Amino acid sequence: MTDPDFVQAFDGVMKGRYANRFFIDRPVPHETVRAILEAARYAPSGANTQPWRVHALAGAAKARICADILAAHDREAAQHASEYTYYAPDLPDRYQGRKQEFGRVFYGALGIAQDDAAGRASQTAKNYAFFGASVGLIVTIDRRLETGSWLDLGMFLQNVMLAAKVRGLDTCPQETLAKYHRVLRRHLPIAPQDIVVCGMALGFCDTAAASRRGVMERAPVEAFASFHGFEAPPARDTGE
């Protein structure tokens, strides 16, 4: 029988993870980053193909890359583009509505008005310093792989985030870093056949700042799951 305390703790890690964008300047030891990747590599993948590749950055290497990306972002953002499309150009209403709600909650909590383009841009730029996290991950996948392998990569990334969380570290996955793959390629041994999928900030949370973040609600189970063939749940005791 599974220990209910362990179940609660495990679920708590999943429910407690969020995209943290506030970090303190405290180094994450190399062994910790390695231990996170060591646990995450147990992610499942189709036919055990394990299509993930990670470049972990810290210290001077990270600083050099961030400086170059920020310079490119300031001077020539329009000349940089991701090699893949994250959002469908015509998001169906359900998803478009959630995306708008995200913007409302996210920028609202930061005190940035909807029409404040400069405010939004300066928030976006924080991505390129990994929000001040001491570690930045750059995640790539072989472009010859298909959608299924991207599914595998997502599982690996979730493992990384949960392995970090359980070690007292926070993360923020960052698709926006894919835009600057040409800059990243100047610094990192990214093979030509590899696509930069995302970055990830990893570090110690600035808890005071993070407590003021916008909390992203989730749709309830009923909104995305239907159940078939289960026994009816026992009738609630109404006390009558």
Ligand X SMILES: Cc1cc2nc3c(=O)[nH]c(=O)nc-3n(C[C@H](O)[C@H](O)[C@H](O)COP(=O)(O)O)c2cc1C
- The residues of the shown chain that bind ligand X, judged by CB under 6 A, are 18-19, 21, 102, 127, 172-176, 198, 216
Report the nearest approach of ligand X to the CB of residue 97 (Å).
14
Instruction: Specify whether the CB–CB gap between 178 and 83 falls below 8 A.
Output: yes
CB of 228 to ligand X, least distance (A): 29
Q: Which is nearer to ligand X, 99 or 186 (CB)?
A: 99
CB 42 to ligand X: min, Å: 20
- Residue 174 pairs in a beta bridge with 199
- Which residue, 29 or 87, has its beta carbon nearer to ligand X? 87
CA distance linking residue 101 with residue 97, whole number of Å: 6
Enumerate the β-bridge partners of residue 172.
201
Is 28 or 199 the residue whose CB approaches ligand X more closely? 199
| CA pair distance 33, 204, nearest whole angstrom | 12
DSSP state letters, 40-69: HTT---GGG----EEEEE-HHHHHHHHHHH
In the complex with ligand X, which residue's Cβ is closer, 19 or 61? 19
Q: Residue count of the chain, please give it.
A: 240
In the bound complex, what is the minimum distance in angstroms from residue 73's beta carbon to ligand X? 13
Cβ proximity to ligand X, 101 vs 142, nearer residue = 101
Q: What would you measure as the largest C-alpha separation in the chain, in angstroms?
A: 73
Q: Positive or negative, the Cα torsion across 8, 13, 16, 18?
A: negative
Least distance in Å: CB of 175 to ligand X? 4
